[in-house]
Amino acid sequence: MSLAEQLQRPHLKTLVPYASARRSMSGGSVWLNANESPYAYDYALDCSQLNRYPAFQSQRLNQAYADYANVRLEQVLSCRGSDEAIELLIKAFCEPKQDRVLICPPTYGMYAISAQTHGADVVSVPLTSSYQLDLDAIKARSADARLIFLCSPSNPVGNRLAQEDIEAVLKFATTSLVVVDEAYIEFCAEASVVDWLAKYPNLVVLRTLSKAFALAGARCGFALANEDVITVLQKVLAPYPLPDLTIQIASQALSPVGIERVQADVTRTVKQRQRIRDELAELPMALVAESETNFLLYRVADADSLMQTMQQNGILIRNQSAQVGLDNTVRISVGNERENTLVIDALKCFFGDTQ
């Protein structure tokens, strides 16, 4: 046993790290496995201050996001993607080997991984057969949960959670922080619960610029919450969380011109999503749920075989079969028109050969 293995914290010995799209798959020429935007843009950069540390919290950036999300500046914390916001919440509010978080699988894997990394227990309350919240089960198991993570619209399913159900959790889980992850909210903006911050002090909303804003490589996300929650999160935030270049790019993306571009991208992504759905309708692939995101989740007869064939054709999609209740499912990100043509043709060829 190496020295590092001897010295690591005991609970990490059995921890399996999160298998991100980039970590679990490589190669290929068509990347439709990470729910990224297929569009990229140029930004003007000022490098004259790169010899200086950036601000702990950029007022320019946070105000731009506050304006965009229609919240107050004091309700915004910017960080390295919503993944860091998840980490911060667990670090700030969960005592290792004592406190727990509640998740509703199938859901985003980082809630559980982050909790386990910090030694917090994970309570799992699966979604119903229609991929909605099981309110009775959540209520029964939420009494001692410090954090309740709800992903809406859902990753990996793609549907939104019923707003009345989210509100029900906020009402009965008054001793927990209810964290609503809205990473894909630009694709169904009317489903946001951010306006509820004034009504529910236990609400936290997570946002990101990685999806509709096409800035996955910039690593910029936000926690939106009431000021007392933001103050606690700042205690565990790194002194310089965002690089100056990220602050510059994100601020420009949140300008009126940038927001208009995002809205145009969302429109064409939704159009391409419908195109994929229509083209695949006659294939032996069952859409798991109506998507309100930039991806589609399908159930197939043999996900492993399909994944292997697609990868051999240079097309990367995501196998979600390890998720609770999602046996033999694959998730396809919506790409640009050319990428979508390639994935559609490859799927038609695969199922044509297997029928």
> Is domain 59-255 annotated with CATH 3.40.640.10?
yes
Strand ranges (E), the chain: 30-31, 76-79, 100-103, 121-124, 145-151, 177-181, 203-208, 221-225, 286-287, 295-299, 315-316, 318-319, 329-333
Confidence at 28, pLDDT banded by 50, 70, 90: confident
CATH 3.40.640.10 in the chain, residue ranges: 59-255
At residue 8 the predicted structure's pLDDT band, cuts being 50, 70 and 90, is confident
Residue extent(s) of CATH 3.90.1150.10 domains in the chain = 3-38+258-354
For residue 79, pLDDT over 90 is answered with: yes
* Residue listed under structure tokens 């004091």: 74
CA distance 236 to 220: 17
Tell me the per-residue pLDDT of 194-249, one tens digit each, with 9 for 90 and over: 999 999 999 999 999 999 999 999 999 999 999 999 999 999 999 999 999 999 99
Give me the helix-helix angle, 256-279 and 337-354, nearest 10°. 20
| pLDDT > 80? residue 71 | yes
- Examine the pLDDT at 101 and tell me if it is beyond 70: yes
Average pLDDT over residues 149-159: 98
Which of these ranges, 9-13, 41-45, 66-70, 105-109, has the smallest mean pLDDT?
Answer: 9-13
At residue 336 the predicted structure's pLDDT band, cuts being 50, 70 and 90, is: very high
Q: What pTM was computed for the model?
A: 0.95
Q: Which CATH architecture has domain 3-38+258-354?
A: Alpha-Beta Complex (3.90)
* pLDDT confidence bin for 352, thresholds 50/70/90: confident
Instruction: Using a pLDDT cut of 70, give the percent of the chain over it.
Output: 96
The answer to whether residues 294 and 334 touch, using CB atoms and an 8 Å cutoff, is yes
